[in-house]
Amino acid sequence: MSEKSRRSEEELEKTENSEDIEITEGTEKTETAEAPETAGSEADPESGTEPASDEADSEQEASGKDDSPLTRAEKKALEKLESAYDAMKDKHLRVLAEYENFRKRTEREKADIYAYAIRDAMDKLLPVMDNLERGVSAIPEDAEGDPIAEGMKQICKQFEKALEDIGVKPMDAKGKPFDPVYHQAVMHVEDPELDKNVVAAELLKGYTYKDTVVRHAMVSVAN
């Protein structure tokens, strides 16, 4: 092969390679130009709309947390909390009931103790009151105005007032039907003016403390 023909073949190969390069560059430019159109189809800035897939994703994110069911661990934790709450509530109600019962029992015991103390004190004081009343009733009529007699009367009234202040009151038994709860019959008498089982006379005055008998009245009963 001559040198002239070899040069001709080399020039022909260079020409073909240059054409391939131009074709490749044109293809890349075409693909680059089509890319904005694809991006534009996903979001149109002029209309302000977004793809439907983005809207669906945002809706799922907004509502997915509230509507999602509880997991097994969360259910167990909730059941444990409810059980603990019920136990604490039951314990609280029991404590309240026990405290209320304790308060009522304490008040009742306190009242009973006070009543027993009153009875014990009256066992000692009422005989003194009886003697004062006997002394006042024995004062003769001509001794009215005597300082000693007036002093005894004032002491007797003061004693009665002190007993009433603490709740101890005398009974009024004469002329009333005999009641074994309040009266103690020591004798029977014949009295045509009175009905049967009516208190004819009060021999020893009885006393009560808040509707409780401190001392029974000793009485005579008509037949």
- 173: closest CA among 132, 135, 221, 103? 221
In this predicted structure, what is the pLDDT of residue 10? 64
Q: Is residue 194 part of a domain?
A: yes
Say if pTM beats, i.e. exceeds, 0.85: no
In this predicted structure, what is the pLDDT of residue 48? 47
Q: Are 218 and 201 in contact (CB under 8 A)?
A: no
Q: Is residue 139 part of a domain?
A: yes
- 171-186 average pLDDT score: 92
Instruction: Select from 166, 185, 202 the last residue of a domain.
Output: 166
Q: What is the pLDDT of residues 105-131, one digit of tens each?
A: 999 999 889 888 988 999 999 999 999
For the CA atoms of 77, 82, 87, 89, the dihedral, rounded to the nearest 10 degrees, stands at 140
The reply to whether 108 and 145 lie within a common domain is yes
Q: What is the pLDDT of residues 19-34, one digit of tens each?
A: 554 444 454 444 444 4
Q: Determine the Cα–Cα distance for residues 207 and 219; give it in Å rounded to an integer.
A: 13
Backbone angles phi, psi at 213, to 5 degrees: -75, 125
In this predicted structure, what is the pLDDT of residue 194? 87
- 23-46 average pLDDT score: 46
Q: Determine the Cα–Cα distance for residues 146 and 127; give it in Å rounded to an integer.
A: 25
Q: Is residue 123 part of a domain?
A: yes
Higher-scoring residue by pLDDT: 14, 41 = 14
Q: Determine the Cα–Cα distance for residues 127 and 205; give it in Å rounded to an integer.
A: 10
The reply to whether 106 and 162 lie within a common domain is yes
Could you list the residue range(s) of the whole structural domain that residue 187 is in?
170-223
The reply to whether 101 and 161 lie within a common domain is yes
Instruction: Select from 166, 181, 201 the last residue of a domain.
Output: 166
Q: Determine the Cα–Cα distance for residues 76 and 82; give it in Å rounded to an integer.
A: 10
User: Would you report the helix, strand and coil content of the chain in percent, each value rounded to 5?
Assistant: 65, 15, 20
